[in-house]
Structures are given as structure tokens and as C-alpha cells.
Amino acid sequence: MNKNLIALAVAAATFSGAASAATVYSDDTSSLAIGGRVEARALLSENGKTELPADATNQQIIDQHTSNDVTDISRVRVNIDAKTQIADGVQGIGYFEREFNSDSSNDENRYIYAGVNSDKYGQIVYGKADGSLGMLTDFTDIMAYAGSVVGGSKLAVADRTTNNLAYAGTFNNLTFKANYVFDGAAYNDAGKKTDQSGFSTAAKYNVGDTGLALGVGYAQQKDQTAANNTVNQTSKQTFAVASYTMGDLYFGGLYKYGHRDANNLVTNELTDSQGYEFAAAYTMGKAVFTTTYGFMKDERNTSGAYDELANALSVDGTYYFNSNFRTYASYTFNMLDKNKVGKVAASDQVVLGARYDF
């Protein structure tokens, strides 16, 4: 069995193809590499449809229904990774990644940052870069398609975001990250700031060669509440994670508590949340099988409304033909109450995919 495959599976959700990137320029001090992925994905799920009167001139909605449709969610990512030696053990770095989707309206620049990396002291960058909590949510965000339902609720300042000054350093078995997102220059018509600003920090520790890893993190941000146009409303999150690798088996767990970090699915009111998630992976030859269960609830629920924010079990199987090409199938069992949140929000999902990394 190829035990390296399980490491690939655990990193699948965030792996951008840089590991197989081609160096297109290199000299004694500088290098430039280009990498990425081409990923064909077909999604079958419940989708909302609207019907309009045949002679409608004002496009009024007269009916709505749902149907199981196949949606093309294919995508391409292209990245450029540049480095140059500026001192002994110190490099100037720059990184860019763009994603192109089958629906071009969702195209985005995923990363644009530059900074300095020290082999001894770590890396500091500014631009559109990762926040600190992604290192922790990767403990359970391991699937070929389905994401982490709890980890995916990270505050904006703790996730990939712009105007971000970020530090990361690894010291033996300890990895530490911290980032600060500055106030931006976006204002609404009332002259109030509309940006989110704040910080996040996280630490991960590998316990020797035992296969055990532990992590903890915290994020806090200030943002504007559109409903009453107030500013400096504070949201907070705390994450704790653990994982254990034993041969071809991997187990991961995550716990989150958040303050003003989620919206009730029925009332849409901003609320506190609490959630947990478990993940497992098994490598069998060139195949990797993964499963994740995540649950998150509304901690306030003062109005007595439906309080589940997420309740899903996902399973998938991936076959690695080699380090560049894989195919996968994924199924998500959504256990939210469709009578409370609607058929679309409670829909199961089936995804078939093929991915080429370059």
C-alpha cells in the first residue's frame, strides 16, 4: 500500500497543484513555477426553479418548485509561485492563483500575496492570503468534494481574505500562525464602513512520532450589521482539533464555539453557534475512502425556532491513477428538516469528478 496517498487525501480540499508545478525559470537566486488543476465535476442535487407567466413584462414570480438537476461545477485553477534569494536563508516570495469556473460569474482571484520567508523564523506576507484557522479545519476538511460543514463557517478574517498581513512558522513539531486583517476603504451611502477587520491565530503540535496531532485557535472580527447600520459589532470563534494517523487509517475531530458567527436558517437572525465534526480516511492501494459527519446548532434560539444550522454525513471514494490524475465519487446525506429549511437547503448531493493536477 502507498501510504503517501493518505497524506494526499487529507490535503485534498486545499491542494492547489503546487506540489507538481513545473519550474519555467530558474537561476542561481530565483525561480518561477506554474501549476494548477483542471477539475471536471457534475453535481446532482435539489435546485429551486421559478416559473413566470408567458406574457410577463415585470418578471413577477408566480410559482416555485424544485427538481433534481445535474449542474456543471467544473473549474480550473492556475497558480504562479515565485521565489528569489535576498539573503542567506531568506527569500522574497510572491504567489498568485486564479480560479475559472464553468459559470464564469464565479471566477475569482484566490491568492495574491508577496512577502519574505526565512528558513529559520518563518514567513510573513501581505495581500489576499489564508487566515490562521484553515490549518485547523484541514483536520476534518479531507474529502474529494464535500467540505467541512463546521470548519466552513470560519469568520472571514480567519479564512482566505484580502488586506491580510499573515505570519506562519514551523519550529520542530510546532506550527504557529497569526494574521491581521486591516480596516478597508469600503463605505456605504451613510458613510459607514462595510469591511470586516480583525485577527486570528492558531497553533498545531505533532506529538513526536505517535501519529497524534493537536491544535487550537481563536478568531475575532468587527463588522457592520446591515439591519441597523451599526459598526464595531464583534464576532468571535474558538476551535479545537485533534487527529490520529495509524498506518492506512486517519481519524480527525473538530470542535467550534462561536459568538455572533452564524445565521439561523429559518429566521436568518445572527446568532451564536456550537458545532463538532468527525472525519476518517482509509487508504487501500491506489484508492482512498473518506467520510465526514458534521453538526452545528444555534446556541441562542431565543425565539424557539428550528435550531440546527448543519447536520450532514458525507462519504466518498477517490482513485489515484498517479500523482497527477484522479477520479472520485461523493455523496452527502443532508439531515436537516426540509419542512423547516426547505427542500433545497436540505437536499442530498451526488458529485462525480475527474481531476488533473499540473
CB atoms < 10 A from the CB of 242, how many? 16
- Model confidence band, residue 12 (pLDDT cutoffs 50, 70, 90): very low
Closest by Cα among 240, 227, 155, 167 to 198: 155
Q: Tens of pLDDT along 296-322?
A: 999 887 667 789 999 999 999 999 999
Q: What percent of the chain has pLDDT over 90?
A: 68
Predicted confidence (pLDDT) at residue 50 exceeds the cutoff of 60: no
Mean pLDDT, the chain, rounded, equals 87
Is the distance from CB of 288 to CB of 315 less than 8 angstroms? Answer: no
Q: Determine contact, residues 114/127, Cβ cutoff 8 Å.
A: yes
Q: What Å distances lie between residue 194 and 130, 188, 332, CA to CA?
A: 21, 6, 35
Confidence band for 11, pLDDT divided at 50, 70 and 90: very low
Torsions phi, psi for 83 (to 5 deg): -140, 150
pLDDT(51) > 90: no
Give the pLDDT confidence of 269-296 residue by residue, as tens digits: 889 999 999 999 999 999 999 999 999 9
Q: What is the pLDDT of residue 60?
A: 46
What contacts 56, CB < 8 A, 6 or more positions away?
A: none
pLDDT band at 233 (very low <50, low <70, confident <90, very high): confident
pLDDT at residue 67 is higher than 80? no
Q: Is 273 helix (H, G, I), strand (E, B) or coil?
A: strand
pLDDT greater at residue 159 or residue 8: 159
Does 195 score more than 80 pLDDT? no
Q: Which of 260, 252, 258 is nearest to 280 (CA)?
A: 252
Query: Would the pLDDT of 4 be above 80?
Result: no
Q: What is the pLDDT of residue 15?
A: 36
Question: Is the pLDDT at 196 greater than 60, yes or no?
Answer: yes
Residue 232: the pLDDT is 67
pLDDT in tens, 82-131: 999 999 999 999 999 999 999 878 899 999 999 999 999 999 999 999 99
For range 134-139, the mean pLDDT: 97
For residues 331 and 318, is the Cβ–Cβ distance under 8 A?
no
- At residue 121, the pLDDT reads 96
Q: In the predicted model, is pLDDT for residue 69 greater than 90?
A: no
Is there a contact between 358 and 22 (Cβ–Cβ < 8 Å)? yes
Please check the confidence at residue 331 and state whether its pLDDT lies above 90.
yes
Identify residue 322 by its one-letter amino acid code.
N
pLDDT score at 179: 98
Q: Comparing 277 with 263, which gets the higher pLDDT?
A: 277
pTM of the model: 0.86
Closest CA to 146 of 16, 328, 17: 328
Residue 191 has pLDDT above 90, yes or no: no
